[in-house]
Amino acid sequence: MAVPLFDPAAPLAPLDAELRAAVSGVLDAKQYILGPNVTAFEEEFAALHGVPHAVGVANGTEAITIALRALGVGPGDEVVVPSFTFYASAEAIPPTGATPVFCDIDPETYLVTADAVKAVLTPKTKAVVVVHLFGNVAPVDEIAALGVPVVEDAAQATGSKTTDGRLTGALGTIGTFSFYPSKNLGCFGDGGAITTSDDALAERVRSLRFHGSRDKVTYEEVGYNSRLDELQAAVLRVQLPHLHAWCDRRRQVGSWYVEAGLGEHVDLPVPAVGADPAWNLYVIGHDRADALHTALTDAGIGARSYYRQPVHEQVAMTPWRTDAPLSGTARAAARHLALPMGPALTRAQVDEVVAAVADARLD
């Protein structure tokens, strides 16, 4: 049977009536910008993460840019960022005027490490963007101990946590999220949020998301028109109470892959020390990843390589390209392959995927 790489619609099917009612409620109220659903979602999202502030913004990319601006990042500064990540993690830095400085990752966890960050720190470093890639949880505490503010890019890790129960987005100085439909918590378009325990940072984020104004009359700086849409906030509020259950199912699917013997054929994703990932993507490693991709596609199994070309090698990053060897990044880029993952995936589908991997006979 065919198994899709991910199926964002299936988990929402039982919520169809509630979602339609939420959207109708917004249409009836006719308050579309920074309305009561945005306010309520911000309060609920902050409470879920155990922080006093969550601020809805237009998307996950602008969430990073605004978070950096709120930290005072600007021209002449450097921001450390891993190269093995989605392009937006680095793309969000140049609009602040700062320079992205690329660092390596651990190819087993696909995460940045404190040693990799330390290797590229300079007196100009103003912040570190730490990416919780694929739902794994990066070692924020160790990186924060280096003395530089940590911006958590938790776009792929909503609901992931440490083994002592702390959620991503509440570990560093400031956290950023994407609610793109394929994320662990997805809306019906673009959306994002910023979380922090710092009152002053939260106030600046709220100003920056609305043109640099606190009162819509006085404009203190050049900001952004970057607000979470009221319709999207209403959709997210319906889903938010189900997030933990969906994340637990993602963890269970990961354990099914292990139980089904996937590790006999490929390198399994490795949770970081102290991490309890809610896998957004289940990314394995294989020396013949592209050949495996072809075999799985032919068998009707969804699979995808995401970052064959690391960010620092992208054309748009030429002005900031590093000559430093990023060996972990190169290894991860060449060997990674995402397999089906999601809260609607069944054990039978997992067994089908593992059987197709075995049938490829590439190990």
Q: Which range is least confidently modeled, 91-95, 217-221, 258-262, 337-341?
A: 217-221
Confidence of residue 190 (pLDDT cuts 50, 70, 90): very high
Structure tokens at 290: 């592209």
Could you give the percent of the chain with pLDDT greater than 70? Answer: 100
pLDDT of residue 363: 67
Fold match flag (10-240 vs 242-360): no
CA-based torsion, 100, 104, 105, 107: positive or negative: positive
pLDDT of residue 237: 98
Are the beta carbons of 311 and 90 closer than 8 angstroms?
A: yes
Task: Give 119's contacts (C-beta < 8 A, 6+ positions apart).
Answer: 103, 104
Q: Where are the domains of the chain?
A: 10-240, 242-360
Kindly tell me if the per-residue pLDDT of 216 is higher than 90.
Answer: no
CA-based torsion, 6, 12, 14, 17: positive or negative: negative
Q: What is the pLDDT of residues 95-141, one digit of tens each?
A: 999 999 999 999 999 999 999 999 999 999 999 999 999 999 999 99
CATH code linked to domain 10-240: 3.40.640.10
Q: 242-360, superfamily in CATH?
A: Aspartate Aminotransferase, domain 1 (3.90.1150.10)
pLDDT of residue 317: 97
Q: What is the pLDDT of residues 323-336, one digit of tens each?
A: 888 999 999 999 99
Structure tokens at 69: 């601006």
Confidence of residue 40 (pLDDT cuts 50, 70, 90): very high
Kindly tell me if the per-residue pLDDT of 247 is higher than 90.
Answer: yes
Q: How far apart are the first and last CA of the chain?
A: 23
Q: Report pTM.
A: 0.96
Confidence of residue 1 (pLDDT cuts 50, 70, 90): confident
Q: Give the span between the Cα atoms of 224 and 194, in whole angstroms.
A: 14
